[in-house]
Structure 1
Amino acid sequence: MTLAEALLVVATGLGAGVLSSTVGVASLLSFPVLVALGLPPVVANVSNTLGLIPGGIGGVLGYREEVREAGPIARSIVIVCALGAVAGAALLLGLPPGVFEAVVPWLILFTCLLVGAQPRIARWLRARHDARHGEARAERRHMSPATTAFATVTGVYGGYFGAGAGVMMVAVLGLGTDLELRIVNGLKTLSLMVGNIVAGLIFVVVADPRWDVVVLLAAGSLVGGYVGARIGRKLPDAVFRWAVVAAGIVAAVLLF
């Protein structure tokens, strides 16, 4: 690897870390760059997953107050995303390349629609509940079985590839809980970190990452993850929501 390529990987890690902690589409930047540098797709995916682990750690440190406020939901996210990442990593290593290529872009676009429409959907569901039961619905501070199931599926996708997994988790938690968006953003960052750690541990044992790329990507992503969290905490809800939608649409278009 030349000096210019090494600097490019570090800069890519920095940018990916920022994207991970804000709109949740780090791989949208880092994966294409690694492929463009000549890494085979599976090797690029494995190296990318490992290299973004420090970015997730930096992001969670930046969101530590929000994660603490989430309470039991944060613990649930850790468990379901860890289990999902195991399944996702197994799918990546066991299935022919491109199995989900036709489905994933549509899935990301659908979750973008959910993120954008979430306030209206939440108001409609709350009004329907109040009319049916004659009383206001209690604030949802725990994950229902349905929310847990969808979060697990998102964890599986995160372990398999992950481009747009953050967008999906924002949609799941935004509809399935009554948490503030800043807390949802922290939990989204936590979910991506857990998925990368678990899948990365599996890849270290059974795959063949490019360790020079991993180290350079990690150095940039650690700083970028923390910086991105500081930015994400200050974003107004509307700006954050539409930034997530825009990032998800770009991810879907590129995956098409």
Structure 2
Amino acid sequence: MQVVFYISTYFVGLLAGIMNTLAGGGSMLTLPMLMFLGLDANIANATNRIAIFFQNLVAVTSFEKKGVKAFRISLPLGTVAAAGAILGSFIALDLDKNLLQKVIGITLLIMTYFVIRKPKLKKSNSSTNSILRVLVFFGLGIYGGFIQAGIGFLMIAAITFFIGTNLVRTNAIKVGIILIYTTTSLVVFLSKGMVNVPVGLLLALGNMSGAYLAVRFAIKKGEKFLRIVLIVVVIINAVKAFML
């Protein structure tokens, strides 16, 4: 049974790493999987952050090496999101584990709905208030620090609206922002002893492998490929949500 546990954890992490880097929704697989394997909802939510951290570290490094220089754009936005993530992480810590499990289930369903119905966004004009940008990314940080699931889709929407980059560059900016705020969130959860480190590292190995493959695919195949992936990921998450 342990062999099955290790293999399933790695391959779910692999798939999640690919999904998260190319689009989003990987945590909508890993959170239910970790809970199915016996982790309490609050431990699963915290443990998942190890995988998210290492996955995005690999993704950022790979994008930079492949010539998609986006981290300088991610840094200020990620710093704002990191402040929000601290608040979101403490909110998650304060919730009863049974209540958190229900929140996770409801959130997965809601996120799938909004992914399906997500409106097409255009680049914001020069008159867009910078305060709004700060508030949006601070809010995304709170959400990411709290639960993480589906944050990739929200980040893509926000980056598209405020910056207007193509999907390849948008994903490069996205993984940088998530890397920054996940660092603060992970520190909070580690300090409270909520992280199952061995399971998190095994999951991280899969996520890192998926992130490395995903960056190569994204750059080689381009924006058309990413749009197809987004559609597929939405369908997978929708089916998964209705089976919960």
**Same fold per superposition (TM over 0.5):** yes
Structure 1, residues 5-61: CA drift from partner, whole Å, max 9, x if none? 112212222222111211122212211211111111111111111233211111111
Identity %: 24
With over 3 angstroms needed to count, the CA separation of the structure-2 counterparts of 1:235 and 1:143, relative to structure 1, is: farther
Cα distance between partner residues in 2 of 1:104 and 1:147:
25
The AA in structure 1 aligned to 2:5 is E
Unaligned runs of 5+ in 2: none
Unaligned runs of 5+ in 1: 126-136
Specify which of 108, 133, 136 is matched with residue 150 of structure 1: 136
TM-score, normalised by the number of residues in structure 1: 0.79
Asked if the contact 2:68–2:172 (Cα under 8 Å) also holds between the matched residues in 1, the reply is: yes
Q: What residue in structure 1 maps to residue 120 of structure 2? A: 117
Aligned length: 237
Which residues of 2 match residues 32-47 of structure 1 at below 5 A?
32-47=32-47
Larger Rg: 1
Cα distance between partner residues in 2 of 1:183 and 1:228:
13
Q: What residue in structure 2 maps to residue 229 of structure 1? A: 215
The AA in structure 2 aligned to 1:156 is I
The AA in structure 2 aligned to 1:117 is K
With over 3 angstroms needed to count, the CA separation of the structure-2 counterparts of 1:69 and 1:196, relative to structure 1, is: closer
What secondary structure, in the 3-state scheme, does the structure 1 residue paired with 2:194 have? coil
Asked if the contact 1:111–1:171 (Cα under 8 Å) also holds between the matched residues in 2, the reply is: no
Asked if the contact 2:13–2:30 (Cα under 8 Å) also holds between the matched residues in 1, the reply is: yes
Q: RMSD over aligned Cα, in angstroms?
A: 2.8
With over 3 angstroms needed to count, the CA separation of the structure-2 counterparts of 1:235 and 1:167, relative to structure 1, is: farther
Q: What residue in structure 2 maps to residue 198 of structure 1? A: 184
What secondary structure, in the 3-state scheme, does the structure 2 residue paired with 1:52 have? helix
Structure 1, residues 80-112: CA drift from partner, whole Å, max 9, x if none? 221121111011111342457656644553355
Asked if the contact 2:19–2:233 (Cα under 8 Å) also holds between the matched residues in 1, the reply is: no
1:77 lines up with 2:77 in the alignment: yes
With over 3 angstroms needed to count, the CA separation of the structure-2 counterparts of 1:171 and 1:198, relative to structure 1, is: same
Cα distance between partner residues in 1 of 2:202 and 2:108:
29
What secondary structure, in the 3-state scheme, does the structure 1 residue paired with 2:69 have? helix
